[in-house]
């Protein structure tokens, strides 16, 4: 089974979900598949205004990966060490800032695995970061077993439309 | 003229979604334009800061997050880049055209079908050549792109 078939299989089994833009007519340049936990958050029951604002903006920020013609390094970043192949998407406003972690199945196909509040993570070599990266790898392994995510420090190998910049520490 | 005021069922989440979506689209266009000017004309944040009489750190903040942009700062940044934004194209949601491109992985999963044959077209973004499989663009559809 190819990685494409694996992704389709996991979607059929509702282990991951394709992120389809809510607004009609949006060009889908890249694919993002989100974990069940994140899917549940994005489709949660109506909460207080603060929750609604945060979730609405997170949805838009994630869709940015799918629809944007150009992506910059303030939005998508490769976490250290590169061999872990864990990337983060930054959803920074409003507070709290959210980091959505994921790994690339192939170019322009991102599997988001988990997310965390930036304020809970500390410095970039902190225990908090190590735990969320470990969780991301574990979720990937659970989903795709022996298939390895794309391992590279060159952003152009994982996405199209990358603006020149520093995507890796 | 139909009175649609009683049909309004939109929720706060959607309102915040559309706000952020708009900010992201504007910011992306700004970032893309700045990257192009940097590459083609050697424009830097330092030059922009000098032209605007601002701290370079402020320019970095403006260019790092959609949430930091206001109408004024957007205009000022583009003014310093010797450019200006055009007014946005306004389209009713119900009149938005179908997407003219869907990533292969999404389309496979959704099992969408298209009657239009896909033709490979090379598109250059910020100096990086990228191959897309994309439908031939209609002038109206092209306005809907970011």
Neighbours of A88 (CB within 10 A): 24
d(CA A82, nearest CA chain B) in Å: 23
Interval B70-101: pLDDT, tens: 999 999 999 999 999 998 889 888 888 777 67
Across the interface, whether the CB atoms of B64 and A93 are under 8 A apart is answered no
Q: What ipTM was assigned to the predicted interfaces of this complex? A: 0.91
Q: Which of A27, A66, A161 is closest, CB to CB, to B125?
A: A161
Which parts of chain B are beta strand (E)? 119-125, 128-134
Q: Which is it for the CA torsion A154, A159, A163, A166, positive or negative?
A: negative
Q: Which is it for the CA torsion A32, A33, A36, A42, positive or negative?
A: positive
The residue-averaged pLDDT of A95-116 equals: 93
- pLDDT of residue B33 exceeding 90, the answer is yes
The residue-averaged pLDDT of B99-128 equals: 55
More confidently predicted of B32 and B4: B32
CB distance A71 to A89 below 8 Å: no
Tokens 């990358």 sit on residue: A162
- Token pair for A53: 């604002």
Q: How confident is the model at residue B124 (pLDDT cuts 50, 70, 90)?
A: very low
Distance CA A118, CA A102 (A): 15
Mean pLDDT rounded to a whole number for chain B: 76
Q: Measuring CA to CA, which residue among A25, A31, A23, A89 is closest to residue A56? A: A23
Beta carbons within 8 Å of B119's beta carbon, 6+ residues apart: B133, B134, B135, B136
Number of cross-chain residue pairs from A and B with Cβ atoms under 8 Å apart? 144
Across the interface, whether the CB atoms of B125 and A70 are under 8 A apart is answered yes
């Amino acid at each position: 089974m190819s990685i494409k078939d694996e992704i389709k299989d996991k979607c059929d089994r509702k282990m991951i979900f394709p992120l389809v833009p809510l607004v009609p007519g949006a060009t889908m340049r890249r694919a993002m598949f989100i974990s069940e936990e994140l899917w549940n958050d994005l489709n949660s029951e109506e909460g207080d205004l603060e929750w609604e604002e945060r979730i609405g903006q997170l949805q838009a920020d994630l869709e940015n990966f799918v629809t944007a013609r150009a992506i910059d390094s303030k939005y998508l970043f490769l976490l250290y060490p590169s061999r872990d192949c864990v990337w983060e998407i930054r959803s920074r406003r409003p507070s709290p800032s959210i980091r959505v972690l994921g790994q690339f199945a192939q170019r322009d196909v991102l599997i988001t695995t988990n997310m965390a509040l930036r304020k809970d993570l500390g410095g970039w070599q902190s225990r908090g970061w190590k735990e969320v990266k470990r969780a991301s790898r574990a979720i990937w392994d659970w989903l795709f077993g022996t298939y390895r995510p794309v391992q590279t420090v060159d952003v152009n190998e994982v996405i199209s439309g990358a603006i020149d910049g520093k995507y890796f520490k | 003229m139909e009175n649609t005021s009683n049909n309004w069922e939109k929720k706060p989440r959607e309102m915040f979604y559309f706000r952020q979506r708009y900010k992201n689209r504007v910011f992306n266009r700004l970032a893309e334009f700045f990257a192009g000017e940097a590459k083609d004309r050697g424009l830097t944040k330092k030059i922009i800061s000098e032209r605007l009489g601002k701290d370079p750190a402020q320019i970095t903040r403006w260019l790092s997050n959609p949430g930091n942009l206001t109408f004024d700062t957007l205009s000022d940044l583009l003014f310093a880049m010797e450019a200006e934004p055009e007014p946005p194209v306004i389209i009713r949601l119900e009149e938005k055209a179908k997407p003219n491109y869907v990533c292969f992985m999404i389309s496979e999963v959704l099992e969408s079908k298209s009657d239009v044959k896909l033709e490979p077209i090379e598109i250059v973004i910020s100096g990086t050549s990228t191959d897309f499989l994309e439908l031939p663009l209609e002038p109206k559809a092209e306005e809907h792109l970011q």
